[in-house]
Amino acid sequence: MIQHQFSIPSKIDINKLLRDNITFPNLAADKAENKLQRYINDHQDKYAYFISKIVETRVFNRSIKNDDYVCLNWEKLRDFLGKRYADEVRANLLQWNIIQCDNHFIRGTKSFGYRIHPSYVSKSILRDIFKVEVMGKKLDAQHKEYVKKYTRNTTYSNLKKLCIDVDKAITYVDTKLDTTISFLYDNIDVLSTTTVEDKMYSKVCKDISLLSHPTYSLTLVHLLKSKLQRNDNKGLTAFDILIESAYNQYDTDVMSISKIKNKQFFLEQPDTESRIYTNLTSLSTDLRQFLYHHSSTEKLVNLDIRNSQPFIFAAILKDYYKASTVLPEDVQEYINLCAVGTIYEEIMNRLQVEETQRRTFKIKFFANLFFCKNQHSENSKAGKLFMQDFPNVYRVIHENKAVNYKYLAILMQRKEASIILKTISKKLQKQGIYHNTIHDSVIVLESDVETVKNLMLEAFTDAIGVAPSIKAEVLAEEKFEASIAPIEMGLLSINYNDFDDILSIYLLSDEYCYEELLLAS
């Protein structure tokens, strides 16, 4: 039997919750107590499951913002818990203000969203199932049915060979949370406000960047302001929202660690042309250092393409101009700069941006060029220069965003999946080489680095005409023990290391489309 536990915020005591709220006024005291105890025994696992699903769903879907509602498929919940019980649990948790619902439902597109009520947001702890013979068996059956789909799936088989050093990983995230919470409490006086002053918040972001230990990310200033104005956050301060965000990030990390530890692997692909989403793609970048192969003493190495997203777009350019015998000069220049990994430096030089601002510029470059509406691109400084120096490249960007500015992001993801999954991964599978993919990078054993690297170079050369620059990073070298320096972007500061994470978070506003476009689960 797989070890199943529920992740429950520590402020929620389900036994006490049911005892305080479930009553049988028409029964004598002794009979009412007996019936209450039977109710608790029979149903506490159902309440724990519902709450845990809210916490757990963040692991599957990284597109959920830190304090946002998570969508739960109501029909699946009813099938699992029973229609009457699921309805009763939901109604009670809402009535008791343990959870909140966004009341936003679109048939066939979006399920209702739920979140833990801010009053109960706290560090989650793993609680054992009360009735293992009932709930445990149902969860085992559910897991076995899921695994059955992937019996002959090599990607899933490779995923199952991953292990994680749980003790070190938990110690790491505990320290990360404690450092973040301590910092927020040290700044409670300036953060206990329902409005955010730019200068004040900028100083808070700068101060957290000077800490000697890793911290969880602070909410971007424009998102923080937006959250404070929402009706469902009425009465909350910036401090409350930042605390909730830190706990949600921590819970996601703990659940990710727990799922790998307990061999509860998942593999989802919205359609055959899209990216795949797994425990590995959902694992925070700074937790990858604790991964290892279950039967090999070799280190794991991540092969990452430099300037990967601009380089992926180069493949789209090749498709667009495939009828041309000679590529336009600016298109060829763009492709060459991406291939050697200097596209950002080149644009920075032309804009006279200092090297110290490279990572900041990298995010702004993407946000203002690839993943926003055309009018935003054309009004930005980087966009204007790009239009001038790379007119034929920009034409392709403009055309792909003309009808729907989100389309280009989707197209780039599909092109990436075509090369990484349908070409590189399939060849590695045929050769029996162990690997896992993280969107645009490939994790392999140290002894296979050169073989896989050459295969990646070949695949991208075939698709684009030039080979990319590939960086090999050993995961177990514990690069994140020191302070994780945040990205400074004027009034925003975020402590993410992986560019996909940084970009994804930054693009969460009405002006930008979010980099991961998944339907609600």
Per residue of the chain (521 residues), what is the pLDDT tens digit? 355 788 899 999 999 999 999 999 899 999 999 999 999 999 999 999 999 999 888 776 655 655 588 889 899 899 999 999 999 999 999 999 999 999 888 887 788 999 999 899 998 888 889 988 889 888 888 888 888 888 889 999 999 999 999 999 999 999 999 999 999 999 999 999 999 998 999 899 889 988 988 999 898 788 889 889 988 888 999 999 999 999 989 998 998 999 999 888 999 888 888 889 899 988 998 999 999 999 999 999 999 988 888 889 999 999 999 888 889 999 999 999 988 888 888 988 998 888 777 766 777 777 778 878 898 888 888 889 999 999 999 999 999 999 988 889 889 989 999 999 999 999 999 999 999 999 889 999 999 999 999 999 999 999 888 888 899 999 875 544 433 333 333 333 333 334 444 444 444 333 333 333 222 22
The pLDDT score that the predictor gives to residue 30 is 93
* Sequence-distant (≥ 6) Cβ neighbours of residue 250 within 8 angstroms: 123, 124, 173, 176, 177, 216
Give the predicted TM-score (pTM) of the model.
0.82
User: Which of 223, 108, 316 has the alpha carbon at shortest distance from 514?
Assistant: 223
Tell me, what's the pLDDT at 485?
37
First to last CA, the chain: 26
Give the start-to-end residue ranges of the domains of the chain.
5-148, 308-411
Which pair of structure tokens corresponds to residue 376? 């935003």
Cβ proximity of 292 and 420 under 8 Å: no
How far is Cα 178 from Cα 493, in angstroms, rounded to an integer?
A: 19
Taking alpha carbons only, the member of 322, 313, 371, 373 closest to residue 343 is 313
Q: Kindly state the tokens that stand for 162.
A: 């991953």
Residues 6 or more apart in contact with residue 36 via CB below 8 angstroms: 18, 19, 22, 23, 24
Residue 427: per-residue pLDDT? 96
Q: Are 156 and 265 in contact (CB under 8 A)?
A: yes
List residues bridging with 125 in a β-sheet: 8
What is the residue-wise DSSP string for 218-284?
PPPHHHHHHHHHSGGGTT--HHHHHHHHHHHHHHHHHHHHHHHHTT---EE-SSTTS--EEHHHHS-
What was the pLDDT predicted at 63? 59
The reported pLDDT for the residue numbered 221 is: 84
Please report the pLDDT score of residue 65 as a whole number: 58
Do β-strands 70-71 and 162-164 pair in parallel, antiparallel, or remain unpaired? unpaired
Tokens 């041309």 -> residue: 324
- Nearest-angstrom CA–CA distance, 72 and 273: 25
Residue whose tokens read 């430099």? 306
**Residues 111, 101: Cα–Cα separation, whole Å:** 11
